[in-house]
Amino acid sequence: MKSKQTSFDIAYRAGVSQSTVSRALRNSPLVNEETRRRVQEIAAELNYKVDKNASSLRTQQSGTIALLLFEDPTNDDSLINPFFLSMLGSITRASAKKGYDLLVSFQQMSNDWHADFEDTRKADGIILLGYGDYTDYEEKLVQLIKQETHFVRWGADVKGLSVVSVGCDNFHGGYQVTEHVINKNRKNFAFLGGVTTGSPEFLDRYKGHCQALKDNNLAVDSKLQIDAVSTDESGYLAAKQLLENGVTFDAICAASDLIAIGAMRAVQEAGYNIPKDIAVVGFDDIATASSTFPAMTTAKQDTVLAGELLVDKLLQLVRGEEAQTQLMPTTLVVRKSCGS
Amino acid sequence: MKSKQTSFDIAYRAGVSQSTVSRALRNSPLVNEETRRRVQEIAAELNYKVDKNASSLRTQQSGTIALLLFEDPTNDDSLINPFFLSMLGSITRASAKKGYDLLVSFQQMSNDWHADFEDTRKADGIILLGYGDYTDYEEKLVQLIKQETHFVRWGADVKGLSVVSVGCDNFHGGYQVTEHVINKNRKNFAFLGGVTTGSPEFLDRYKGHCQALKDNNLAVDSKLQIDAVSTDESGYLAAKQLLENGVTFDAICAASDLIAIGAMRAVQEAGYNIPKDIAVVGFDDIATASSTFPAMTTAKQDTVLAGELLVDKLLQLVRGEEAQTQLMPTTLVVRKSCGS
DNA sequence: ATTGCGCATGCATACGTATGTATTTTTTAT
DNA sequence: ATAAAAAATACATACGTATGCATGCGCAAT
């Protein structure tokens, strides 16, 4: 049980050649039924496991996909955005379901990324996950395309590049939650989330938000839009700034649940009641959203479906098939933070 | 830029042999300074990347560690316990820091696990993560030991087995939070968390809890201990059951933050004020804990340190060195849920 | 009986790297 | 100038698997 068993060892015990062992274990129709059974029995008995390095070297396929997770640069070293963490979980599950192992790698967006898992043959393809909100991003994508790397990404469609993306309809989601709050008879809306500097995702949500306001003859007041990145601390600060502005408002649409959570804290500390005085909606439906007080109404992104789509499309590309960019709808999850 | 470059291609262009290329790229002192520079230049120019499969096959080292994440069987398919998710993040970071890639794999505890990453040479060692609360567990560990697999695990020390564990001092943590609440002049303590059926971690926390009560001449009432697994739903149900018991209490110690979150919801729905009527403490300090209302006082497990310790110790084992089981202290994080 | 065919198996090789050993080139000492 | 030592490079091989090709065997058709 100690030293490693090879297919030659199995071959010896079974009295056949190594090639027959290899074929038998892979259920090749070329080997006799009886022989196959005997070989597989012996292999199991000796606890033989195929050496994936040798196998991958020979077949040029690793049976592994790599997940590159880009961090919010603002997050401190130890935390991961819970939304992406949840995506990570669903991607892990989805790839396991397809029989692929998952290599997870955190990346600093700013630095050069270490996207050479496919070049090094450690992975057959790559999933990119994170807010694509920095300048070099497209350049990097172009490079990946040029190298003919198989990859898919989470996020909004990238115009002009033949890149397969899976993302949520952020515009629609932003519209959806805003409309919901409008129906609660709120008139003065604030929006917390980086619009000029931030991610394209946030911008789309803001556009949807504004469209909903316009469609309902409500004003868009730029004083009521405050930049924030996706942390509760940032949301807290943004809401504080908003409160100090002196402009009145009775609803906050946050670009993410984390921002909303921070905002709720700031608003409550200022003595306002949620939802009576101020309604709050988030975006994402992270786990925490159901545990805030009051529980948060938000636009849910279906991370389970997203993970499956990402993996499926990536594997299509790996197999040399075509794959299409896909936009998923968001679902309005009504809880308590906007009134009943 | 299309077809894959090998070290032979580099060798050809540099006018040297393949072995010299290999040595040059690995900065072997056997190659001339000037030659090394030239080879590395050409390699960079051609965007050459070492084939890790071939390299691993040759060296018998994968440069990868595998993380086996065992799920709470109670969790639905799509969710991961946020505490373990956080551990996952820190382990990913810690292994990256050591230059290792991380293979992540979710496992159903009930089934046979797929712990053959080392057998298949896909990983040099394995980290086991999850509550070790089911019957076959030790048996599996014994098997891993017998196969001489390099592995470390998160959790309490396993008596009688030479297994390297990294865990928190759950007894002390349970003691610590309970003592804190005792100092807030609470007298009647409930404990929510599986004790008879649950994980050894929960049991240790309960023991610490009870010890703190005894040391302060407070009664341990078994009617005030309700089993719960680590989900907020389970915590919610447990707290409801507790409330219906009719036994009075003014403090709840939960075996985990998730349980505490559910309990808080139940308590608040029943019309009680936290912390005025009932104090609540959790365990773990997951991200959500700071965002509950009121913010939760809890015993923090240092996931960053834990991740680093797990990776460090595993790599020690991989290198053939000795490694010791280590218990980390918990830190009391005082917020609002027990009063000020 | 010879040929031909299908089936099962063995043989040989390639995947790309890392490294022990042999060989060549350069330097140093005499 | 020559031998010896040192340095740099080339040669050869092994890691363990998967697979194209060749081989051998039994059986049916001619």
Q: CA-to-CA distance for B296 and B207, rounded, in angstroms?
A: 22
Looking at strand C, which nucleotides approach a protein CB closer than 7 A? 7-12, 14-20
Q: Are B287 and A82 in contact (CB under 8 A)?
A: yes
Say which residue, A159 or A8, is predicted with more confidence: A8
Closest Cα in chain A, distance from residue B81 (Å): 10
Whole-number Cα distances in Å, B180 to B135, B223, B331? 34, 22, 12
Mean local confidence (pLDDT), A179-190: 96
Say which residue, A109 or B195, is predicted with more confidence: B195
For nucleotide D15, the protein residue with its alpha carbon nearest to C1' is: B58
Q: Are B13 and B44 in contact (CB under 8 A)?
A: no
Query: Other CB atoms closer than 10 Å to residue B30's CB: what's the count?
Result: 11
**pLDDT at B214 (0 to 100):** 97
Q: CA-to-CA distance for A289 and B75, rounded, in angstroms?
A: 17
Mean local confidence (pLDDT), A11-26: 96
Q: CA-to-CA distance for A221 and A100, rounded, in angstroms?
A: 49
Q: Which nucleotide is nearest to A11 (CA to C1')?
A: C10
CA B212 to chain CA centroid, nearest Å? 26
Using a CB–CB cutoff of 8 Å, tell me whether A336 touches chain B.
Answer: no
A88 has pLDDT over 70 = yes
Contacts of A86 (CB under 8 A, 6+ apart): A286, A287, A303, B79, B80, B85
Whole-number Cα distances in Å, B76 to A167, B71, B99, B122, B233? 24, 9, 34, 29, 11
B84 has pLDDT over 80 = yes
Mean local confidence (pLDDT), A152-176: 93
Cβ contacts of B232 on chain A, cutoff 8 Å: 290-291
**CA atom of B235 to C1′ atom of D14, Å:** 58
**pLDDT at B196 (0 to 100):** 80
B260 has pLDDT over 50 = yes
Closest Cα in chain A, distance from residue B215 (Å): 34
- What pLDDT, in 10s, does the model give residues A220-249? 999 999 999 888 888 999 999 999 988 999
Spatial strand order of the sheet with B279-284 comes to B225-226, B189-192, B251-254, B279-284, B297-300, B331-333
Specify the range with the lowest mean pLDDT, choosing from A53-67, A145-159, B128-142: B128-142
Burial A103-132 (b: 16+ CB within 10 A, else e): bbbbbebeeebebbbbbbbbbbbbbbbbbb
Q: CA-to-CA distance for A183 and A164, rounded, in angstroms?
A: 36
Using a CB–CB cutoff of 8 Å, tell me whether A6 touches chain B.
Answer: no
Using a CB–CB cutoff of 8 Å, tell me whether B144 touches chain A.
Answer: no
Terminus-to-terminus CA distance in chain B, angstroms? Answer: 65
Specify the range with the lowest mean pLDDT, choosing from A12-21, B88-97, B206-215: B88-97
Rg of chain B (C-alpha set): 25
A113 has pLDDT over 80 = no
A288 has pLDDT over 90 = no
Domain positions in chain B are 7-50, 64-169+302-329, 170-301
Q: Which nucleotide is nearest to A14 (CA to C1')?
A: C9
Closest Cα in chain B, distance from residue A217 (Å): 35
Terminus-to-terminus CA distance in chain A, angstroms? Answer: 65
Specify the range with the lowest mean pLDDT, choosing from A45-49, A129-133, B315-319: A129-133
**pLDDT at A112 (0 to 100):** 67
B276 has pLDDT over 90 = yes
- Pick from A43, A35, A130, A142: which is nearest to A91 by CA? A130
Tokens of A256: 């993410």
CATH fold of A7-50 reads 434 Repressor (Amino-terminal Domain) (1.10.260)
Q: Quote the strand ranges of A130-197, DSSP E.
A: 151-154, 164-168, 189-192
Q: CA-to-CA distance for A259 and A254, rounded, in angstroms?
A: 6
**pLDDT at A134 (0 to 100):** 59
Mean local confidence (pLDDT), B250-256: 96
Q: CA-to-CA distance for A277 and A267, rounded, in angstroms?
A: 10
**pLDDT at A77 (0 to 100):** 47
Q: CA-to-CA distance for B278 and B268, rounded, in angstroms?
A: 10
**pLDDT at B200 (0 to 100):** 85
Mean local confidence (pLDDT), B122-139: 82
CA B46 to chain CA centroid, nearest Å? 41
Q: Quote the strand ranges of B151-194, DSSP E.
A: 151-154, 164-168, 189-192
Share of chain A above pLDDT 70, in %: 94
Mean local confidence (pLDDT), B300-309: 96
CATH 3.30.360.10 fits A170-301, yes or no: no
Contact: B51, A64; criterion CB under 8 Å: no
CB of residue B53 closer than 7 A to nucleic acid strand D? Answer: no
Cβ contacts of B304 on chain A, cutoff 8 Å: 77-78
Work out the mean pLDDT of chain A and round it to a whole number: 90
- Please check whether the two domains, A64-169+302-329 and A170-301, share a CATH topology: yes
**pLDDT at B77 (0 to 100):** 47
CA A19 to chain CA centroid, nearest Å? 42
**pLDDT at B110 (0 to 100):** 62
**pLDDT at B109 (0 to 100):** 64
Using pLDDT thresholds of 50, 70 and 90, give the confidence band for residue B198.
low
A73 has pLDDT over 60 = no
Q: Are A206 and A193 in contact (CB under 8 A)?
A: yes
Mean local confidence (pLDDT), B30-49: 95
Using pLDDT thresholds of 50, 70 and 90, give the confidence band for residue A109.
low
Whole-number Cα distances in Å, A303 to A86, A88, A98, A231, A287? 7, 9, 17, 19, 11
Say which residue, B71 or B143, is predicted with more confidence: B143
B81 has pLDDT over 50 = yes
How does strand B297-300 pair with strand B331-333?
Answer: antiparallel
Classify burial at B76, counting beta carbons within 10 Å of its beta carbon; exposed 0-12, middle 13-18, buried 19 or more.
Answer: exposed
For B46, which residue in chain A has the nearest alpha carbon?
A147
Say which residue, B232 or B212, is predicted with more confidence: B212
Contacts of A3 (CB under 8 A, 6+ apart): none
Q: Are A292 and A261 in contact (CB under 8 A)?
A: yes
Work out the mean pLDDT of chain B and round it to a whole number: 91
Q: Report the greatest alpha carbon distance in chain A.
A: 87
Spatial strand order of the sheet with A64-70 comes to A326-328, A164-168, A151-154, A125-129, A64-70, A101-107, B101-107, B64-70, B125-129, B151-154, B164-168, B326-328
Query: Other CB atoms closer than 10 Å to residue B78's CB: what's the count?
Result: 14
**pLDDT at B287 (0 to 100):** 82
CATH number listed for the domain at residues A64-169+302-329: 3.40.50.2300
Answering whether pTM is above 0.75, one says yes
Mean local confidence (pLDDT), B181-201: 90
Whole-number Cα distances in Å, B18 to A134, B15, B279? 40, 10, 70
